[in-house]
Amino acid sequence: MRKLGQINETIKTRPSNVITTTTTTTTVTQDPVPPRSSNTHLQLGESHLPYAEEDILEITDPNNKILNKPAPPPDPNGPPLKKILFWNDAYSIKHFYFGYGREPFLRAKCPVNTCYTTSNRSLFPLNEIDAVVWHWRSQDRSFPKKRYGQVYLRRHPLPDQYRNYAQGKTKMAAWFVSNCHTMGGRERVVQMLRRWIQVDQYGGCGTLKCSRKQANNCETMLSKDYKFYLSFENSLCKDYVTEKLFSKLRIDVLPVVYGFGNYSMLAPPHSYIDALSFPNVKALADYLLYLHHNDTAYNQYFAWKRFHVIPTDWARKSRPFCQMCERLHKDNSTHIYDMQKWFVVDSDCITKSDRKLKSFNGK
């Protein structure tokens, strides 16, 4: 797994009015580099107060497979259309999970939408391209020969009648995991939790199986049978939060998070349990057992579902492209960013041997 918003290297230049951007699929840098969501060192036992509730738009996945569609003529009364070229692919997806043309920017209601994406390298002359998006893990590691410097609705969902999310659930906690030995020591925490509660382990590190090819069936099973899901990160780094949390917020299971992300900035209020806000694993287990036997308290962790909608993966991944389009129109600066410092040095990662964790995991 990679850190949320990971960037390996970003170089932005503007000779001949052309920008070349080398980036991953989910981040566009800003100048100056914006502060992290957590601008202080997180301490064990610290809880983050949630910010005010707000509606989150739900956007369906795009199905735009048009590659060679010509760009529309520019609006003589509007700003010029900025051209963005997907040079290779993101995990075999050539449209980088966003889409082609101008339509994705309109569908996402980007504040600035006069941009056009394509993966057809011959659609425009290279010197007319404003940004090149290049994924570092693609099998295609080539570079340009000349390296120039869903329709959605905003709505309030109708309030559900009272629902008991604990009803019919006979099992405590589930954990899907394929990385058996991690720097953050999550496996040690699970080992200790098993002293007091039931934890069913699926995947390559466990005895139970639920194939990724049947992801929908697995999520249905989790929602029906389990009260908790262990959303434990493999690395304990500032701002490192992955799909282990976000994918479980969409279903009817309560995530227990283990990581150094500022979760109150990323998830609806009272929608998760932060393991590291407890003094030790025993205290965490005691609280899970309390919720297991108290349906009223357990259901309070699902009250947010009446007022919030978790966006789909495409909706989340469209935001950096909106930001890219806006910046191409507004920012003419030139800067080289030190991504090693941002991603590694400033991450403040700790390992399972760090003394800060010893009082929590008992080792």
pLDDT tens for 36-87 read 444 434 444 443 333 333 332 233 334 444 455 666 666 777 788 999 999 9
What's the whole-number average pLDDT of the chain? 78
pLDDT bin (cut points 50, 70, 90) of residue 272 is very high
Pairing of strands 11-12, 335-336: antiparallel
Burial of 6-40, coded b for 16+ CB within 10 Å and e otherwise, reads bbeebbbeeeeebbbbbbbbbbbbeeeeeebbbee
Task: Please tell me the predicted confidence (pLDDT) of residue 3.
Answer: 36
176-203 burial by CB neighbour count: b if 16+ within 10 A, else e?
bbeeeebbbbbbbbbebbeeebebbbbb
Tell me which of 64 and 314 has the higher pLDDT: 314
Read off the tokens for 15: 């000779």
pLDDT at 160: 52
Q: Which domains does the chain have, with CATH numbers?
A: 1-156+311-332 (no CATH), 171-306 (3.40.50.11660)
Check if the beta carbon of residue 150 is closer than 8 Å to that of residue 98. no
Which residue would you say has higher pLDDT here, 84 or 8? 84
Vertex 96: Cα angle to 94 and 100 (nearest 5): 75
pLDDT band at 319 (very low <50, low <70, confident <90, very high): confident
Which tens digits make up the pLDDT trace of 73-131?
Answer: 667 777 889 999 999 998 888 889 899 999 999 999 999 999 999 999 888 888 889 99
Mode of pairing for the β-strands spanning 335-336 and 131-133: unpaired
Its pTM stands at: 0.57
- Quickly count: other Cβ atoms within 10 Å of residue 125's Cβ: 8
Let me know: does 99 contact 64? Beta carbons within 8 Å: yes
